Structure 1
Amino acid sequence: MAEFLTIGEPMAVFASEDVDQSLVDAKKFSKFAAGAELNVAIGVSRLRHSAAYVTAVGDDPFGEFLIKAMGNTGVDAKYVKKNPEFWTGFYLKERVSHGDPSTFYYRKNSAAAHYRMKDLDEINLDEIKIAHLSGIFAAISDGDLEVLKELGKRLQEKGKLITFDPNLRPALWASQERMVEVTNELAKMATIVVPGVNEGKILVNSDDPETIANFYLNQGNQTKAVIVKVGPKGAYIRQKNQPGRVVEGFKVDKVVDTVGAGDGFAVGLITGLLEGLSLDDTVKRGCAVGALAVMSPGDNDGYPTPEELNNFMN
């Protein structure tokens, strides 16, 4: 049985090998498995914790590729459903030497967007210690939003620790107002909320880490801690009834690809919690995995083994 569970939309990504060329001009691409929540599951598994992933894929080559990738990385795919009526999403991604790459998605009406509520009944939550939820799954369809709420409710009823990353994707929402309303409502389910400082500008109208943290701590009784990612500077931690503090990040000599850094932070956070580390040490690990992520071209290729993580942090 898995000790970690997440739900999301997996995708095949075709990443350009031509640095700083537009997708129009790029000629060579490499294929990777991607999707924010799948990235987290792969990273948790790579750090030798059992991880299960919940989703639906099409009965097509991309779906087979993703299931195979899960198997190759140790992610339990028994809760991955095949739906032959819909297809598996994929996207194209630029390779850039600095900044965030341009992306082009083909995900509308995907199999994951049609995940069936009844399939939640097959999921055994008894041995799960931590579940990771994301705003992306809620954004891809109204049905998935209801599925995410129901899964969160079941996790709460069983007293499971829930981490929540807003993972804002404005292009997937009908409006920014709707995105903000739903995302902040979903955050109430979480034990730990993990927004980025730039997401705070949109979600709470502030880029001040303390203001962001206070908003989420005050909006619901479930939330016990908020960790605001502040990029290379590290992260700001605020727990209920405790003063906030900053955990410093790690310097990176060369940024290859910034995609997957936030998911890498979640990997470090979740595995640190599973191993009983202090929250400060857990956040430090999150910063380390995020730093390693930006030094590799794939969305999750840079996530380390325990030995690689220890070498980097030491």
Structure 2
Amino acid sequence: MSKYLDVVTFGEPMAMFYANEEGPLDEVNSFSKALAGAESNVATGLSRLEHKVGYVTKLGEDSFGSFIIKALNTEGIDTSSISFTREFPTGMLIKSKVASGDPKVEYFRKRSAASRLGLADFDPAYFASAGHLHVTGISSAISRECHEFSVHAMEFMKRSGKTVSLDPNLRPSLWPDTKTMADTINDLATRCDWFVPGLGEGRILTGLSAPEEIASYYLNLGVSLVVIKLGPEGAYYKSSDSEGYVQGFKVEQVIDTVGAGDGFAVGVISALLEQLPLKEAVRRGNAIGALAVMSPGDRDGLPTREQLERFIRHGSV
């Protein structure tokens, strides 16, 4: 395959309807539509930073599927490996508007087209054309087929000498119980190079408290770099020969926290692919995470390279 991708990812992109007014979702009358999904957020962020990104999924032959393809293409994301099915619909969600903090989100994704993504859909030539694979724990949560796809993709990329990043993106409501969730994510972690959990996620997954302990736990599993998100405080990172805390950026007002972790992953992954020092990679993650929480939509705060550099220098875009 002649095409070369910097990064490939897969998962479930969804059509999102977000409220235009505050209040309970059942009382809201006006919504706007946008693309949502952790993996599509990461793909968008990396593409805006001028990395060549490919996205793999299954969509329904419906208006939501059509909308998602157009939205991904608009961001310059390669969609040539996305397939369509008439049997299952494209997933969607609705999200409330809040003055600050965490909005309420309701998902409509059960038996979605993306949850049918399985081993038969894996194209080795497409994945081999990419230098890096990004995975989230959500894919393993939505179906057995998607979990098998995740494991196969990660093992394929590792065998091919490529790097793999994993963001646990814990969604307890999608799992039968906490133990199954933790066991599955920790098993996936043994197949990744870069692991980027939040502190709360790390505590759930390991039963440990301190960032240093959590990081060591995953290094012992064979992960080469662990970066732990600490919210406003920034992040902690640890590899076999380096560790440290990196301070977060000042945020004037938290508008919407959804997508902040994805933005953080964009910063870390992009910087590591550009071979920047670890501390600078984590600082970039902090910067994009800060931009994300100051923006209303999941992807609104994901910056271009020029906007990112301006924010890191001056604290504003």
Report deviation, 1:130.
Answer: 1.6
For residues 210-231 of structure 1, what are the alpha-carbon distances to aligned partners after superposition, in whole Å with 9 as ceiling and x for unaligned? 11101111123xx111000000
Listed as ranges, the matches of 1:170-181 within 5 Å are 170-181=172-183
Listed as ranges, the matches of 1:141-220 within 5 Å are 141-220=143-222
Q: Unaligned stretches of 5+ in structure 2?
A: none
Identity of aligned residues (%): 45
Listed as ranges, the matches of 1:21-100 within 5 Å are 21-100=23-102
What is the alpha-carbon distance in structure 1 between the residues aligned to residue 98 and residue 52 of structure 2? 33
Aligned to 1:134: 136
For residues 54-109 of structure 1, what are the alpha-carbon distances to aligned partners after superposition, in whole Å with 9 as ceiling and x for unaligned? 11010000000000000101110011110111000000111222221111010000
Report deviation, 1:283.
Answer: 0.8
Aligned to 1:294: 293
Aligned to 1:118: 120
Report deviation, 1:22.
Answer: 1.6
Aligned to 1:271: 270
What is the alpha-carbon distance in structure 1 between the residues aligned to residue 93 and residue 177 of structure 2? 22
CA RMSD of aligned residues (A): 1.1
2:232 is the alignment partner of 1:229: no
Partners of 2:81 and 2:126 within 8 A in 1: no
For residues 229-265 of structure 1, what are the alpha-carbon distances to aligned partners after superposition, in whole Å with 9 as ceiling and x for unaligned? 00011110111144x3101110111111110000000
Deviates more, 1:97-106 or 1:72-81: 97-106
Aligned to 2:11: 8
Name the aligned partner's letter for residue 140 of structure 2.
Answer: A
Report the 3-state secondary structure (helix = DSSP H, G, I; strand = E; otherwise coil) of the residue aligned with 2:228.
Answer: strand
Deviates more, 1:302-311 or 1:125-134: 125-134
Report deviation, 1:123.
Answer: 4.2
Runs of 4+ displaced beyond 3 Å: none
What is the alpha-carbon distance in structure 1 between the residues aligned to residue 278 and residue 132 of structure 2? 15
Report deviation, 1:30.
Answer: 1.1
Report deviation, 1:114.
Answer: 0.4
Report deviation, 1:18.
Answer: 1.3
Partners of 2:198 and 2:228 within 8 A in 1: yes
What TM-score do you get using the length of structure 1 for normalisation? 0.96
What is the alpha-carbon distance in structure 2 between the residues aligned to residue 138 and residue 189 of structure 1? 14
Q: Unaligned stretches of 5+ in structure 1?
A: none
What is the alpha-carbon distance in structure 2 between the residues aligned to residue 280 and residue 158 of structure 1? 27
Aligned length: 310
For residues 182-202 of structure 1, what are the alpha-carbon distances to aligned partners after superposition, in whole Å with 9 as ceiling and x for unaligned? 011001111011110011221
Report deviation, 1:298.
Answer: 1.2
What is the alpha-carbon distance in structure 2 between the residues aligned to residue 34 and residue 277 of structure 1? 29
What is the alpha-carbon distance in structure 2 between the residues aligned to residue 61 and residue 199 of structure 1? 35
Report deviation, 1:41.
Answer: 0.2
Report deviation, 1:116.
Answer: 3.0
Cα distance change, pair 207–285 in 1 and its aligned pair in 2 (3 A): same
What TM-score do you get using the length of structure 2 for normalisation? 0.95
